[in-house]
Amino acid sequence: MTETVNLTIDGQEVSAEQGKTLLEVAREMGKNIPTICFHDATTANALCRICVVEVEGQRVLQPACIVKAGAGMKVQTRSEKVIRARRTILEMLASTMDLSEAAEIQQMMIEYGASSERFPDAERRESEVKDDNPMYIRDYSKCLLCWRCVQVCAEDAQYTFAINFDGRGFETQIGTFFDKAIPQTSCVMCGQCVGVCPTGALKPKREFLLEQGMSPSEISVMNTGRKQRKPR
Amino acid sequence: MSEIDLNPLKPAIESFIPLGRSGLMPALHAAQKIYGWLPEEVASEVAKSLRVPLADVHGVIEFYSLYYNEQVGQKFIRVCTDPACALKGADGLLKYLCKNYKVDAGQTTDDLSLTIEQSPCLGLCDQAPAALVDDDAETNISRNFRSYDIGIPQSLVYGSIRELTINCGEGTTTLAKYGEYSAYKKALSVNPEDIIAEIKASGLVGRGGAAFPTGIKWEGAAKASADQKYVICNADESEPGTFKDRVLLLDDPHRTIEGMCITAYAIGATKGYIYIRGEYPYIVPVLEEALNEARMAGYLGERFDIEIRVGAGAYICGEETALFESIEGKRGFPRVKPPFPTTHGVFGKPTVINNVETMCNVPLIIEKGFAEYRKIGTEKSPGPKLFCVSGDVAKPGVYEVPFGVTLRELLEMAGGVTGKKALQSVLFGGAAGAFATAEHLDVKMTFEDLRAVGLPLGSGVVMVFDETRDMRDVLQRLGHFFAHESCGKCYPCQMGTQRQMEILNRVAAGKTLPDDLIRLQDVGWTMTEASLCGLGQTAAGAVLSAMKLWPALFESEKPVLSKVKAIKVSRVSKVAKVEAKSAKKSATKKAVTKKSVKPAKAKAVKSKSKKTTASKSVKKR
């Protein structure tokens, strides 16, 4: 039988399986702890910090996605501190990148009363759309650096190692070896990075073209170099 | 690009191939030594030889400031513009250089003879203003480079006791002079558990900033079962205002090595690393020589040996888990803790990592015995402590004192504030520290007393600002520092350091927007509470303390200070002093002529490449 631990989350006593994270336990209780970088298919890095919760006795807020439920823990998932941290992180995100296609984050912003205008005169991370291969486009203006694409490209799934990081700090961006176009990298076009991207920064090429207003037949011409054969 | 000759590369990186990915940073250093930068073909060859994915090699090159994926000048001048150097006119020096060589900071001359860059703290704050010229420290630079010292920097050592610094101040102490490793020999005659008990009883806590009890750390690693354990000496001293480890390693490398030997014996480690910051290239040969001496004498060898790892310009690598990643050949991203290094350190193995000064305390404790050691300092903060005194004081340098000395006593030892001016404030503990004022002069410098008044001891930084200094300028520089050094992993720090810098820029310009104060507080608070590692958690410390001390600074128009006049006075006196002092120094003094570098037209930004030197300079200030 699996061992269990007893803890308190938002004043509610709960018995949790040993080894489960606070996020898992809270979700089982029906609580909504927001996450951005967390994904079931990737190793949790606890880097977005949007899932932070207050754990009594801890010096600083704790990321629920990796902190394991412990016996006697007293956890608050929506304290004033938690809300202040989440709101500020969301506001900084909105001042940094294009969240227009990140519906979940827009929802979080409403929930936490985060203003997208909070940081006036703030430098944004903007870049041109990279359209260098037939399968997907990369629009890093929309990238919030959740790392999932790099993770699935590497040890979390495909072991392809086509992408890594440019720069560091605020200037970080996802990049290839010496900024090579995707077809010149080890990319195998598996599409998993596109699948785990939460913001539309990575998008199937066809979806991108359709959004640009191209019709399916125009796209077909582009792909094959000839018109669709007319039905007889 | 096709003319790059890869032949010299192979023998240069051969010895790193068996290390695999862990050999990446040493291999890149070796490659850069040959080519001056890291062209694509070279990076590609290194990747192939070490069997590291190309994209990952690229990620590493991009992370570290001292690796270049663009051609740079044959001569590379890095001028420190962080607070201690700024007080002594670093901005003017940089401007002068740029004007003289007709090149912007962060750019390379057209003829590829020279690159000039603004640099974060070079750990030469006691001899400010300072620069790093290729692998040489250029210190005590007078106006327009009329005079300066170049080579290995001097060690200015003062204080009321000489325990850790007994061999410091007169050049490198060779093994012959250091004598046998008597503490190590004594340690080997007892059980490892007894050594750990001795360290625990001594009350030694880490001197790198976190003040974690050293004995408890060792015990954790000793108890962990593993086929391989490691001892690491953290010499990635990069906290602005900190330079004590530079002095300890340059002047008395054997004390650190002996400390590491004792640590290794206590925890059962067979392999050690000294990770030294890339901005201390002149220490590396000194350390290599000392390690060789220790090997010849039989202190290092089969039982335990030490490898030097050189960083490449990333403050974050002073964070212990980021340092592990760096040794493993990765970007210096800090890991989530737990698990802790004592069970999952470098290469996932139990590791003890201690700061240089901590390591230097170890032989002292074993030699004296804990009871005798505890007679130094106070009950709760036993032992000697090194303070890095810089800024507006008469005698900057490393000060060794027992814990419990007051700030006033320390400043008196240092000859007081320069030019008979009044004290405005002291940046205490480093960029990640907090500001103290005259009110704190009589606080005893112990962990407990400082904690009571909300001042972190940090890495022992005491940077003094006189009454004429504009603290907004200091804050702006701290803001720049953290924005430049954030690794970018966790959101609060990645974006928070940037937003903090932007607001501090407005504060410094006297052009704040409504609500900037609240914004700054929210950003600072969020970084402190929600960041992943110690960098983010302390990146707002000094700013938040300044907001409490001087709220008006953050709201009002920029005041007109009598600053210019004041600087002039101190600069004149500084030059005179430097010239008098430098006569008796071993470091060679050069005339201002820079023959090797011809003034040339500024190189146009190479527009086809995304990462030009110029755009890199934006990233790196």
Between B29 and B605, whose confidence is greater? B29
Q: Same structural domain for residues A141 and A213?
A: yes
Chosen from B58, B68, B491, B619 to mutate, greatest number of chain A CBs within 10 A: B491
A199 belongs to a structural domain: yes
Q: Would the CB atoms of A176 and B58 count as touching at under 8 Å?
A: yes
Report pLDDT for B607: 34
Positive or negative, the CA dihedral B429, B431, B433, B437 is positive
> Considering only CB atoms, which chain B residues are within 8 Å of A148?
none
Nearest-angstrom CA–CA distance, B167 and B173: 6
Where in chain B are the domains? 9-63, 158-373, 384-466, 484-554
Nearest-angstrom CA–CA distance, B211 and B456: 10
Structural element, H or E, at residue B517:
helix B516-530
Report pLDDT for B605: 33
Q: Count how many pairs of residues, chain A against chain B, have C-beta atoms within 8 Å.
A: 160
| Core vs surface per residue B389-413: b (16+ CB within 10 A) or e | bbbbbbebbbbbbbbbbbbebbbeb
Top-level class of domain B158-373 = alpha beta
* Fold type of domain B384-466: Ubiquitin-like (UB roll) (3.10.20)
Nearest chain A residue (CA) to B486 = A169
- Over residues A138-195, the pLDDT tens digits come to 999 999 999 999 999 999 999 999 999 999 999 999 999 999 999 999 999 999 999 9
Report pLDDT for A231: 64
Q: Would the CB atoms of A165 and B497 count as touching at under 8 Å?
A: no
Mean pLDDT, chain A, integer: 95
DSSP state of B15: G
> Considering only CB atoms, which chain A residues are within 8 Å of B62?
164-168, 175
Whole-Å CA distances, B522 to B130, B477, B478: 35, 20, 18
> Considering only CB atoms, which chain B residues are within 8 Å of A118?
519
Backbone φ and ψ of A175, nearest 5°: -150, 170
Q: Is A173 on the interface with B (CB under 8 A)?
A: no
Residue B124 in contact with residue B130, Cβ under 8 Å? yes
Report pLDDT for B555: 79
Helices (H), A129-215: 148-153, 192-196, 205-211
- Over residues B38-94, the pLDDT tens digits come to 999 999 999 999 999 999 999 999 999 999 999 999 999 999 999 999 999 999 999
Q: Same structural domain for residues A65 and A141?
A: no
For chain A, what is the domain count? 2
- Mean local confidence (pLDDT), B244-256: 98
Q: Give the minimum alpha-carbon distance from B214 to chain A in angstroms, rounded to a whole number.
A: 20
Q: What percent of chain A has pLDDT over 70?
A: 96
CATH of the domain at A176: 3.30.70.20
A166 belongs to a structural domain: yes
A109 belongs to a structural domain: no
Report pLDDT for A229: 62
> Domain end: A28, A62, A78, which one?
A78
- Mean local confidence (pLDDT), B195-203: 98
Q: Is A80 on the interface with B (CB under 8 A)?
A: no
Mean pLDDT, chain B, integer: 90
A144 belongs to a structural domain: yes
Task: Find the CB nearest B619 among A48, A92, A167.
Answer: A167
Q: Would the CB atoms of A119 and B486 count as touching at under 8 Å?
A: no
Report pLDDT for B579: 37
Q: Same structural domain for residues A217 and A142?
A: yes
- Over residues B369-378, the pLDDT tens digits come to 999 999 999 9
Structural element, H or E, at residue B222:
helix B214-223
Task: Find the CB nearest A47 among B483, B489, B502.
Answer: B489
> Domain end: A78, A111, A144, which one?
A78
Report pLDDT for B583: 37
Between B610 and A36, whose confidence is greater? A36
Q: Give the minimum alpha-carbon distance from B608 to chain A in angstroms, rounded to a whole number.
A: 12
Nearest-angstrom CA–CA distance, B52 and B21: 6
How far is C-alpha A138 from the chain's CA centre?
15
Q: What percent of chain A has pLDDT over 90?
A: 92
Tokens in use for B155? Answer: 């060690």
Which domain covers residue A39, as residue numbers?
Answer: 4-78
A102 belongs to a structural domain: no
DSSP state of B113: -
Q: Would the CB atoms of B54 and A186 count as touching at under 8 Å?
A: yes
> Considering only CB atoms, which chain A residues are within 8 Å of B322?
none
Nearest chain A residue (CA) to B338 = A67
Q: Is A159 on the interface with B (CB under 8 A)?
A: no
- Over residues B541-589, the pLDDT tens digits come to 999 999 999 999 997 665 544 343 333 333 333 333 333 333 334 444 4
B167 confidence band (pLDDT: 50, 70, 90):
very high
Tokens in use for A15? Answer: 């018995």
Task: Find the CB nearest A171 among B69, B609, B619.
Answer: B619
Q: Of A146, A143, A147, A145, nearest to A155 (Cα)?
A: A147
- Over residues B415-440, the pLDDT tens digits come to 999 999 999 999 999 999 999 999 99
- Over residues B501-514, the pLDDT tens digits come to 999 999 999 999 99
Is residue A213 classed exposed, middle or buried when 0-12, 13-18 and 19+ CB atoms within 10 A define those classes? exposed
Q: Of B370, B384, B361, nearest to B260 (Cα)?
A: B361
pLDDT higher than 80, residue A203: yes
- Mean local confidence (pLDDT), B476-484: 97
Chosen from B62, B325, B335 to mutate, greatest number of chain A CBs within 10 A: B62
Whole-Å CA distances, B171 to B152, B180, B362: 10, 19, 22
> Considering only CB atoms, which chain B residues are within 8 Å of A63?
336, 532
Report pLDDT for B2: 54
Q: Would the CB atoms of B526 and A93 count as touching at under 8 Å?
A: no
Angle at B199 between CA B198 and CA B202, to 5 degrees: 85
Nearest-angstrom CA–CA distance, B488 and B188: 44
Backbone φ and ψ of A176, nearest 5°: -110, 170
Q: Is A108 on the interface with B (CB under 8 A)?
A: no
Nearest chain A residue (CA) to B41 = A178
Residue B488 in contact with residue A167, Cβ under 8 Å? yes
Q: Give the minimum alpha-carbon distance from A60 to chain B in angstroms, rounded to a whole number.
A: 5
- Mean local confidence (pLDDT), B186-215: 96
DSSP state of B611: S
> Considering only CB atoms, which chain A residues are within 8 Å of B38?
none
Report pLDDT for A230: 62
- Mean local confidence (pLDDT), B520-529: 98
- Over residues A42-77, the pLDDT tens digits come to 999 999 999 999 999 999 999 999 999 999 999 999
Note the ipTM here: 0.95
Q: Give the minimum alpha-carbon distance from A122 to chain B in angstroms, rounded to a whole number.
A: 7
- Mean local confidence (pLDDT), A79-93: 98
Task: Find the CB nearest A123 among B40, B62, B498.
Answer: B498
> Domain end: A35, A50, A78, which one?
A78
Report pLDDT for B557: 60
For residue B302, the tally of other CB atoms under 10 A from its CB is 7
Report pLDDT for B578: 35
- Mean local confidence (pLDDT), B475-481: 97
Report pLDDT for B561: 47
Q: Would the CB atoms of A164 and B56 count as touching at under 8 Å?
A: yes
Tokens in use for B158? Answer: 């003062």
A34 belongs to a structural domain: yes
- Over residues B312-328, the pLDDT tens digits come to 999 999 999 999 999 99
Q: Would the CB atoms of B491 and A47 count as touching at under 8 Å?
A: yes
Q: Would the CB atoms of B54 and A89 count as touching at under 8 Å?
A: no
A56 belongs to a structural domain: yes
